């Protein structure tokens, strides 16, 4: 068991989220030379890696209501839907309540917030390393509509080929302008000569996020 979070006060039902893993491996950062680091360390730090699950529990009846798998975005065949969950990490993306002098510490993974704008703190964000300074992000947590633990989807519009994904670059690592709404422009860099305007809102009827994305190509720099 990695973490638990009591939802009862926020959702008006005896509900609890449990994040757990099956026989995870303990993976420590490797630094070959002092002063050198891998960009992914800001996301993964020292972490557990193994089949990862999120369960919703009826805290009154002590019954499991549902369980979802949390697969690695970069999963390889045979990984068993494994995922890296940090237990000691820089305070860059995950929330570290009590960082040390190096700005590192034990993260609070189930850092529940109202990310959907539905009026209760029931969701949290997981991160994957994509490239330096930009993680992939995904929202998981409790849906009061379905009374289930879920991994929310994002419908990305604004191009000729709309997509439906659970992982999107950077969005949920940013501060929303209000619960359930993001509006910002960013540049991926790293050879990608474009800027991206993300205008994201949560659709309570469809129980998913909708991203009205606009991409502007930039000249070579």
- Predicted confidence at residue 167, as pLDDT, reads 95
Could you tell me which residues come within 8 angstroms of residue 205 by beta carbon, excluding any fewer than 6 positions away? none
Average pLDDT value over all residues in the chain: 91
Could you tell me which residues come within 8 angstroms of residue 155 by beta carbon, excluding any fewer than 6 positions away? 162, 163, 164, 203, 206, 208, 209, 210, 211
Query: Is 141 a residue whose pLDDT tops 70?
Result: yes
What does the pLDDT look like over 53-94, one tens digit per residue?
Answer: 999 999 999 999 999 999 888 866 566 678 999 999 999 999
- Predicted confidence at residue 64, as pLDDT, reads 97
What are the distances in angstroms from CA 83 to CA 1, 108, 109, 144, 148? 14, 16, 13, 25, 21
What does the pLDDT look like over 35-52, one tens digit per residue?
Answer: 556 788 999 999 999 999
**Paired strand residues for 139:** 125
The span from the CA of 42 to the CA of 94, in Å, is 9
Q: Which residue has the tokens 């289930």?
A: 148
- Predicted confidence at residue 220, as pLDDT, reads 56
- Predicted confidence at residue 34, as pLDDT, reads 53
Query: Is 150 a residue whose pLDDT tops 90?
Result: yes
Burial class (CB in 10 A: 0-12, 13-18, 19+), 33: exposed
- Predicted confidence at residue 88, as pLDDT, reads 97
Domain boundaries, the chain: 3-29+39-217
The span from the CA of 110 to the CA of 36, in Å, is 30
Estimate the share of the chain in helix, then strand, then coil, as percent rounded to the nearest 5.
5, 50, 45
What does the pLDDT look like over 84-115, one tens digit per residue?
Answer: 999 999 999 999 999 999 999 999 999 999 99
The span from the CA of 123 to the CA of 11, in Å, is 12
Of 38-42, 45-49, 135-139, 173-177, the poorest mean pLDDT is in 38-42
Q: Compute the Cα dihedral for 112, 140, 7, 50 and give only its sign.
A: negative
pTM above 0.85, yes or no: yes
Listed residue (104, 118, 120, 115) closest to 138, CA to CA: 115
Query: Is 30 a residue whose pLDDT tops 60?
Result: yes
């Amino acid at each position: 068991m990695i973490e638990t979070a009591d939802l009862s006060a926020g959702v008006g039902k005896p509900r609890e989220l449990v994040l757990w893993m099956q026989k995870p491996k303990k993976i420590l950062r490797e630094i070959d030379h002092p002063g050198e680091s891998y960009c992914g360390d800001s996301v993964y730090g020292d972490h557990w890696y193994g089949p990862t699950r999120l369960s919703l529990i009826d805290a009154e009846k002590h019954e499991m209501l549902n369980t979802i798998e949390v697969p690695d975005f970069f999963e390889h065949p045979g990984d068993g839907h494994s995922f890296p969950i940090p237990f000691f990490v820089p305070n860059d993306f995950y929330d570290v309540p009590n960082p040390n002098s190096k700005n590192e510490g034990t993260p609070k993974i189930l850092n529940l917030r109202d990310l959907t704008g539905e009026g209760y703190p029931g969701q949290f964000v997981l991160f994957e390393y994509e490239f330096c300074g930009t993680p992939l992000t995904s929202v998981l947590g409790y849906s009061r509509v379905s009374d289930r633990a879920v991994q929310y989807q994002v419908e990305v519009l604004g191009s000729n080929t709309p997509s439906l994904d659970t992982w999107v670059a950077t969005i949920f690592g940013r501060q929303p302008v209000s619960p359930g709404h993001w509006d910002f422009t960013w540049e991926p860099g790293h050879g990608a000569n474009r800027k991206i305007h993300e205008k994201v809102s949560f659709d309570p009827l469809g129980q998913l996020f909708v991203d009205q994305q606009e991409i502007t190509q930039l000249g070579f720099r």
